[in-house]
Amino acid sequence: MTVTLVPPPAPHVARTARPLDVLGVPGQVNLDYAATAPCARAAADAVAELLPWYASVHRGAGALSRRCTLAYERARQTVGDFLGARADDHVVFTRNTTDALNLLARALPAGTTVVTFGGEHHANLLPWPRGSVRLPVPREPAEAVRALAAALAELRRPGPGGDHRPPVLVAVTGASNVTGERWPVAELARVARRYGARIAVDAAQLAPHAPVDAAALDVDYLAVSGHKLYAPFGAGVLVGRGDWLDAAPPYLAGGGATSHVGAATHDVRWATGPARHEAGTPNLLGAVALAAVCAALVEADRAALHKAEQALLARLRRGVAALPHVVELRTFGPEAPRVGIVSFVVAGRDSADVAAELAGTHDIGVRDGLFCAHPLARRLLDEAAARSGRRDLPPTALRASIGLGSTAEHVDRLLAALAALA
């Protein structure tokens, strides 16, 4: 049978727009990228272009369905390439980073010990099994590397049972969602390797700001959220070693994850590869949107984007430091490398009230609270009180975060609004 593929109608988008322009609402200053970034033009265009063809994935012989299946699998390839997947890695589409790390937690071989730090987002603290080791928040990146080496040496010390070496997984963030500070991922990976451990990197906050390459960093797993990477529509991804994933029970049981289902209740052969953990109809538009942004970032001058973001970040941090009633939160020293995130408190003011006032009076959106990293945020609030000598700091914080489309005017509006709170 011959199927004629009808060309899609021209997408309804301005041809002059650039792929990494972001959508937004005039007048509204969005400084909450770390929670969810705005939609990139590339993602919106890719979805608009595919929508007329929208049909089932992996489940239809029709022309539309075949095109959608192709688009989904191409998206997998693009996202995998963007994140430096090795030839035998799996690229599993998930809902977000939380979902990706929960999938990895379910795929751990029995007896695996997971080692994390207390500075992680809840998504990288809570999924891990009992018996996991949580190392204290270090005061500087080098201390993290030393603490990990010491912990792994201890875990690898032969016990009474001899030289049995149960698996160890180190799970760390690439960049903190509270402070934006970057963690020494490559060094931690080297330490993990030295002790025969695997390492997973929560790249939810790092990937939107800097290239992250599993092979180059020599990390075993990467988890990323599309909605933080300018790609709405609800896709995330887990990239990494296929062996644990193929040996694990499927994350979800259902259609698409099997290679054979017999009449008897438990007569099931589960698929291997990404399909094993992607039961049910997949999120085509999410995957396509994410791939479109990845492709646009590959084409972009990332060094120039980084430079522009760092200039804005420096402007924001300088401005915050100049306000005597505002105190920045930080884990490492003030000069530690970081992505476009700054958390702070306004002395004497409730953070939720400040966020509401910034929104209501100034049309500025920031985040307030403990940022789903309660142990770290509480610790940094205590540390900020000690460093500033102030006794009137509130128990929760504010966070401003920037990225593509952020401008000096946005930063200055926030600084002026904060100054007005004095």
Interface residues with ligand PLP (CB under 6 A) are 96-98, 121, 123-124, 173, 177, 202, 204-205, 225, 227, 372
Question: Which residues in 312-407 belong to E strands, given as ranges?
Answer: 326-328, 341-346, 364-365, 367-369, 397-401
Q: Which residue is nearest to ligand PLP (CB)?
A: 177
Token pair 């999924």: residue: 127
Instruction: Please give the Cα distance from 257 to 248 (Å, whole number).
Output: 12
Whole-number minimum distance, CB 367 to ligand PLP, in Å? 9
Token pair 């201890």: residue: 154
Q: Hey, which residues does 367 pair with through a beta bridge?
A: 399
**Closest CB to ligand PLP among residues 195, 344:** 344
DSSP structural state of residue 286:
H
Helix (H) or strand (E) holding 42: helix 41-50
Instruction: Please give the Cα distance from 55 to 63 (Å, whole number).
Output: 9
Whole-number minimum distance, CB 403 to ligand PLP, in Å? 13
Nearest 5°: phi and psi at 100?
-65, -45
Whole-number minimum distance, CB 178 to ligand PLP, in Å? 8
Whole-number minimum distance, CB 125 to ligand PLP, in Å? 10
**Closest CB to ligand PLP among residues 99, 328:** 99
Q: In sequence order, which residues have a C-beta less than 8 Å from that of residue 138 and are 6 or more positions away?
A: 117, 119, 144, 147, 331, 332
**Closest CB to ligand PLP among residues 171, 320:** 171
Whole-number minimum distance, CB 332 to ligand PLP, in Å? 16
Strand order in the sheet with 236-241: 89-94, 236-241, 221-225, 198-202, 168-173, 113-117, 133-135
**Closest CB to ligand PLP among residues 201, 297:** 201
Residue among 39, 68, 294, 372 flagged as catalytic: 372
Strand, helix or coil for residue 90: strand
Q: Hey, which residues does 269 pair with through a beta bridge?
A: 260
**Closest CB to ligand PLP among residues 19, 226:** 226
Does 68 qualify as catalytic in the annotation? no
The residues carrying an active-site annotation are 372
